[in-house]
Amino acid sequence: MCNWLEAMEDANLALVSWIGGEFTVRFIRHFSIEGKELKSCDIERRDTNGKAQRFTLKRTFFFRPSAIQCAIRERNVFKRLHEAEITSPFLPTLYHSFMIGQTSSVLVLNLSSGKDLSDIVNAIGRINEYAVLFYVAEIMCALEKLHQLRIVHMDLKPENVILHPSGHIMLSDFDRSNDLSSENLMKSEWISFGGTEEFMAPEVVSKRTISTAADIWGLGIVTAVLACGILSPSKRSASGGCVYRTFNFKNLSESLQSFIRACLSPDYNMRPEIAQLKSHGFFRSVDWDEANSCKLVVPYDPFSILRGTKPVFHPTDAKILSIALDENPPFLIDSPRNEKPNEYSDLFPREFCDPANLSRAGITTSRIEELFADFDFVHRSFRDIFPKERGQNEDS
């Protein structure tokens, strides 16, 4: 194993070869516990004036056909937002998307603080009603932009509401999203009834229908988590949704209780849309122009919140750098039963990211090339670091 200086040099060279320009690795965060995906890697470059610009690099490995669908779905949502000129501080900006060989894809997005609403819940428990109002109002601003384009997030939960270094929110993880205007939804393999079961609307659990009302249900659950603390699913309702044990619900203001109940109507046709929810009494003090402009007072400094169980790896760890940035990352296959678990045990994939594995599921090399033919994208702010021949699918 090379030492960390050599690994760091190799990793930075890999970034240059993939993205172009003088990028360096800053932090590596959020491996999924299955080792299937590098959640995010903070990277940095200097502009012509020497000012540091930092971004998040998200890499997805193609272990299963579903990973391919998720990667394409997420990139297409970001591209659609860009083409529709939807701008919101609460939605990610796609700066660059590209493939690494035929086994993984990469998105370069806005930098986050590495913290999310689950960190607040874990560190503080239930939060005061102003803080609930602040976070829910900003989530609603983001959902309103998505729903205008008939995009359904589908996986709204505290872990997917990440915090900007300023303390404002940004929605993340659009790999389960559905673009209801997309022709791809006519193909059954592109319809996603996925998400996190505890936060899924009843009609999604039962695979009856998908609509923007699914996000309203998720909004209600997230609000309840913030206001009441971690919820405990107790059983399934007749309609298919989770029934939760909540604490302190009766201690909430009547307007907050009313808001949560409205979002959690079992009949999706009865759930209000975002425009209606903005007029709810719980938000009577909110100036929505100020909310959309990040002018509400931030209740918590994200850097004062403990990270909890989510590790942050500094780029001085050769093994982590290798997992994150090698074209063919290392794998742990059939480890001895008596091997003691260590800090890396959950980071190593236990199956090969090999096109041959996908071909057995009908995803051939030619099919991957076809699916990702227009995957490359370059935001205008990145054009200065690319040679002209690299300018595939640049924005205008």
d(CA 371, CA 311): 33
CA atoms within 13 A on the CB side of 292: 11
| Phi, psi at 56, each rounded to 5° | -110, 130
For 231, counting Cβ atoms within 10 Å of its Cβ (0-12 exposed, 13-18 middle, 19+ buried), the class is middle
How many helices (H) does the chain have, and how many strands (E)?
12, 14
| Cα 370 from Cα 364, distance rounded (Å) | 10
Is 155 designated active site? yes
Q: Residue 104 to residues 61, 97, 305, 334, 350: CA-CA distances in angstroms? A: 4, 11, 32, 23, 16
**CA distance readout (Å), 344 to 310, 313, 330, 341, 348:** 13, 11, 12, 8, 7
- Sign of CA pseudo-dihedral 56, 62, 67, 69: positive
Distant-in-sequence, close-in-space partners of 389: CB < 8 Å, separation ≥ 6:
none
As a whole number of angstroms, the distance between CA 353 and CA 169 comes to 33
Strands (E), 62-153: 96-100, 104-110, 115-116, 151-152
Whole-Å CA distances, 172 to 91, 144, 257, 307: 8, 15, 27, 18
Catalytic, out of 42, 116, 119, 155:
155
**Of the candidates 343, 310, 294, which has an alpha carbon nearest to the alpha carbon of residue 123?**
310
Q: Where are the beta strands (DSSP E) in 129-201?
A: 151-152, 161-163, 169-171, 178-179
User: Within 13 Å of residue 253, how many CA atoms lie on the same side as its CB?
Assistant: 11
Q: Is residue 117 within 8 Å of 168, Cβ to Cβ?
A: no
Catalytic site positions: 155
